[in-house]
Amino acid sequence: LHVVTSLLTGVVATTVAAPFDLLKSRVMASEHAGDNLCSVLLRLCRREGVLALFNGWAPTYLRLGPHAVLTFPLFEASRKILGLEYV
């Protein structure tokens, strides 16, 4: 159960984080002097469409998915070993 929920957590985290990672990379790589997050977002949506915000989703999931699968079950096991209750 923990592995399945961890995989689902990785999917949600990736879906939320991927557009911001893409925009950050585009702002940093921009050759226009006054580019900011909003101008890069508008240009991206006009030229490539809204779905372009999820370019690179799979590599991002390959980074975040295993992290979630390892972190949450290990956290639960540590909590049980230490005898800690839920807050």
Give per-residue pLDDT as tens, 1-40: 777 888 888 899 899 989 999 999 999 998 888 889 999 9
Place of tokens 């985290």: 13
**Using 50, 70 and 90 to split pLDDT, how confident is the model at 87?**
low
What distances in angstroms separate CA 58 from CA 4, 53, 54, 55, 66, one per listed residue?
A: 18, 12, 9, 8, 12
**What's the CA gap between 64 and 10, in Å, rounded?**
6
What percent of the chain has a predicted confidence (pLDDT) above 70? Answer: 99
Give per-residue pLDDT as tens, 52-81: 999 999 998 998 888 888 888 888 889 989
Number of Cβ within a 10 Å radius of residue 68: 21
pTM (predicted TM-score): 0.72
Amino acid at 49: G
